[in-house]
């Protein structure tokens, strides 16, 4: 009897549990393991002036290949290494920086995260050839961070001075960037330069001296390099506000170190360059008939300017004056029929070309037409 009662009680308990589970609302959250960002695999480090620039792709997915709901926090670890040293299991790593999720956007350029670790007087006072090692972790929840990133090391060198007096010359085919050379640092085998360019917001007139604080329409990127103190930028558009900065690059054996940015230069190139003068102006005088009054047919060679808009035609009754424009609207093609001539008169014709910016070329040489 006692055993039967025990079995009945146990059955009731199991049934109660089953009913309790069955009554759970569909879609109720269930316990999951913590979200762990995928580890960084492309960390790089290079010296930029008196700082190390750390760059990597910000993780956007978890180790389960699911999209992260928000930016993860970033933890940057650093270790000091002696000359020739490499990171080992016993290396003393320290957490140098933690960037919370709400501040990550400040360091993003697209999906690339860029952070600068300033070098101190103590860093430069270390034994020549000393280096620093870095690794990073991403953390989506407090409980668990990602695995370590790849480890990078970078040697500490005296940084060269930034170029001075950066200025931009506007020509029809190129923006020519000029600067004053910086003195080479002791121990360098070569000194070259890198030119960086960004696009400012329209109407911008002032750029902060620290270009990293500037609000730009597109970020500053490497435009090219030069071994001289000038650089020709042929990939530009008139009317676009550009910001230029130049860095010196000191070569230490197989390694190189960039200077800090030069003072930025803002330039909005304007098209003030007229097209070439049209050539090959020819005329044909058609005398009057019973049905049609006399007129003059004019034609000239097609201009090859990429930004050509059209032509203006001028007529005068004197050879030494250009006269008046006779086409009320700009001519789209290299031909015109002048039906306003008078019999027995002599006319001098000249043609000019216009570009889309409104620049007008010099007039062509005059051709004469005698109307019978």
| pLDDT tens-digit series, residues 48-64 | 889 999 999 999 999 99
Which pLDDT value is given to residue 27?
A: 53
Average pLDDT over residues 223-238: 96
Which pLDDT value is given to residue 108?
A: 92
Average pLDDT over residues 174-189: 87
Quick one: pLDDT band at residue 211, thresholds 50, 70, 90?
confident
CATH of residue 248: 2.60.40.10
Quick one: pLDDT band at residue 7, thresholds 50, 70, 90?
low
Which pLDDT value is given to residue 182?
A: 82
Classify strands 242-252 and 265-267 as parallel, antiparallel or unpaired: antiparallel
Cβ neighbors of 276 (< 8 A, separation 6 or more) are 303, 304, 305, 353, 361
Domain shared by 253 and 292, yes or no: no
Structural domain harbouring 295: 282-370
Domain shared by 363 and 261, yes or no: no
Counted domains in the chain: 3
DSSP 197-210: EEEEPTT-----SS
Domain shared by 259 and 297, yes or no: no
What does the alpha-carbon distance between residue 118 and residue 81 come to, in Å, rounded to a whole number? Answer: 17
Contact 305, 276 (CB under 8 A): yes
Domain shared by 80 and 169, yes or no: no
Instruction: Give the end of a domain, one of 155, 182, 198.
Output: 155
Domain shared by 291 and 316, yes or no: yes
Sign of the CA dihedral with 80 first, then 86, 92, and 93 last:
positive
Share of the chain above pLDDT 90, in %: 71
259 is written with which tokens? 């200077």
| pLDDT tens-digit series, residues 325-349 | 999 899 999 999 999 999 999 999 9
pLDDT surpasses 80 at 5: no
Domain shared by 306 and 331, yes or no: yes
Which pLDDT value is given to residue 205?
A: 85
39 in a structural domain: no
What does the alpha-carbon distance between residue 66 and residue 61 come to, in Å, rounded to a whole number? Answer: 5
Average pLDDT over residues 175-203: 90
| pLDDT tens-digit series, residues 107-148 | 998 889 999 999 999 998 888 778 999 999 999 988 899 999
Secondary structure of 131-151 in the HEC alphabet?
EEEEEEEEEEECCEECCCCCC
Average pLDDT over residues 16-25: 45
pLDDT surpasses 80 at 3: no
Which pLDDT value is given to residue 18?
A: 42
pLDDT surpasses 50 at 164: yes
256 in a structural domain: yes
């Amino acid at each position: 009897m006692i055993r039967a009662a025990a079995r009945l009680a146990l059955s009731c308990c199991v049934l109660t549990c089953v009913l309790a589970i069955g009554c759970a609302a569909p879609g109720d959250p269930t316990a999951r393991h913590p979200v762990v960002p995928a580890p960084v695999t492309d960390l790089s480090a290079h010296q930029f002036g008196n700082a190390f620039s750390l760059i990597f792709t910000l993780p956007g997915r978890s180790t389960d290949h699911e999209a992260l709901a928000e930016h993860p926090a970033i933890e940057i670890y650093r270790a000091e290494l002696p000359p020739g040293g490499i990171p080992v299991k016993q290396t003393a790593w320290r957490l140098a920086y933690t960037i919370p999720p709400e501040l990550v956007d400040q360091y993003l350029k697209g999906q690339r995260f860029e952070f600068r670790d300033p070098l101190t007087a103590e860093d430069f006072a270390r034994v020549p050839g000393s280096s620093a090692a870095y690794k990073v972790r991403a953390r989506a929840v407090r409980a668990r961070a990602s695995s370590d990133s790849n480890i990078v090391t970078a040697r500490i060198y005296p940084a060269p001075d930034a170029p001075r007096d950066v200025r931009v010359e506007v020509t029809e085919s190129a923006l020519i960037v000029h600067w004053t050379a910086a003195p080479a640092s002791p121990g360098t085998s070569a000194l070259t330069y890198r030119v960086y360019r960004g696009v400012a917001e329209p109407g911008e007139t002032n750029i902060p001296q620290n270009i990293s604080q500037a609000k730009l329409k597109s970020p500053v990127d490497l435009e090219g390099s030069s071994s001289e103190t000038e650089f020709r930028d042929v990939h530009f558009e008139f009317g676009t506000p550009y910001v230029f900065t130049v860095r010196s690059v000191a070569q230490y054996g197989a390694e190189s170190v960039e200077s800090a940015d030069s003072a930025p230069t803002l330039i909005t190139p304007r098209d003030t360059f007229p097209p070439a003068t049209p050539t090959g102006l020819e005329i044909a005088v058609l005398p009057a008939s019973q049905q049609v009054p006399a007129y003059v047919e004019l034609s000239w060679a097609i201009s090859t300017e990429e930004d050509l808009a059209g032509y203006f035609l001028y007529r005068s009754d004197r050879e030494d004056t250009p006269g008046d424009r006779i086409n009320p609207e700009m001519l789209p093609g290299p031909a015109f029929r002048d039906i306003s001539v008078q019999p027995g008169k002599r006319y001098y014709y000249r043609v000019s070309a216009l570009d889309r910016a409104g620049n007008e070329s010099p007039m062509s040489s005059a051709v004469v037409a005698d109307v019978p």
